[in-house]
Homo-oligomer: A and B are copies of this chain.
Amino acid sequence: MTKYWSSTVHRLDPYVPGEQPQDQPYIKLNTNENPYPPSPSVIARLKDTAGEKLRLYPDPECAQLKQAIAHYYKVSSKSVFVGNGSDEVLAFAFLAFFESDKKLRFPDISYSFYPVYCSLYDIPFEKIPLNAALEINVEDYQLSNGPIIIPNPNAPTGIALNLAEIESLLEANPDAVVIIDEAYVDFGAQSAISLIGKYPNLVVTQTFSKSRSLAGLRCGFAMGNENLIEALERVKNSFNSYPLDQFAIKGAVAALEDEDYFQEMRLKVITTRNRTRAALNKLGFKTLESSSNFLFISHPKFPAKNLYEQLKSQGILVRYFAKPRIDNYLRVSIGTDEEMDRLLSVISGLVSA
């Protein structure tokens, strides 16, 4: 009965997110969520939002949230776009900036939603291989002048580029949009936001899901030249007038207002990450240098797939990708210190067996 499906549906190979078990008491280190709750002031604001006014539509412009983001990052409100998580922001951006006539380039090992968006909109792409150390080599993107999307830090490696490297990408590709996907930037990489005034082809995307502990709320944003933001608004307003509900708008604003809490939680995750990495190294793991809230690890003797399964059977969920080049790696999100101690204890038992 596929006669009712459009050709688009026929060609799709949808993205599969990490497992979200709804009931089991797993230690959940598989989808890069923050182990700490949102700020108490965010939760209080959200409780206040649960009221009579839910009968009304949210502000379709999300003016209050755009102003809060603009104020926080010291840009103009017209340089800010907000969406239902950075996934929706990226979905709009692919349609707004990428075409069927020029190949989009991104790393061969990267966020696996990128080729899915390309399939959705029929955008040709070229995967540029990471080097043997699983790092992005920016020179590889300077050979032709065209669109690029790169996560910084990259996922699932966690490795970051510095700002000079990002700038070299922007300079080498002035005729096409370059998206820097900064979902994990708050855990140790340099943001490219400072460059949006200088490069009219730069779009930076971020999210409230990771560093601000609001994955359950769905709020992401983009920053860039006003002309690029206008393109995103046009696509959004041709798709859904109100993708952010009243909770997402109010909660995200409250999150930006509690800077002390944000800094404290961000630094806690970084501290736990660095400690966990050192402990894993001692157990014989190869661990990549991470600027994110996860570690990408591999053991010379114990296959990653087996470790994934054994960890799961002992109540610890991590992410395993059955993909070329990385099928002997595990991506381990950073949990609380107690959760990482439990991980280290279990994994130590597995690799000493």
Contact = CB atoms under 8 A, between A and B. Distances in A.
Copies of the chain in the assembly? 2
A313 interface: no
Interface string A82-119: 00110110010001111100000000000000001101
B84 A5 contact: no
A95 B17 CA distance: 22
A268 B292 CA distance: 53
Given A57-B17, A57-B215, A245-B217, A12 B234 contact: yes
If over half of A's interface residues share one DSSP class (helix, strand or loop), that class is named, otherwise mixed; here it is loop
Interface in A201-244: 201, 209, 213-218, 225, 227-228, 231, 233-235, 237-244
Given A13-B238, A88-B243, A217-B245, 14 more contacts: A2-B227, A4-B200, A4-B201, A6-B99, A9-B235, A12-B235, A14-B234, A20-B57, A47-B47, A55-B213, A58-B216, A88-B240, A91-B239, A218-B245
25 contacts: A2-B227, A4-B231, A5-B96, A6-B97, A8-B96, A12-B234, A12-B235, A14-B237, A17-B242, A20-B60, A28-B56, A37-B51, A46-B54, A47-B47, A53-B216, A54-B216, A56-B216, A84-B84, A84-B245, A88-B240, A88-B243, A95-B120, A116-B238, A117-B239, A245-B245
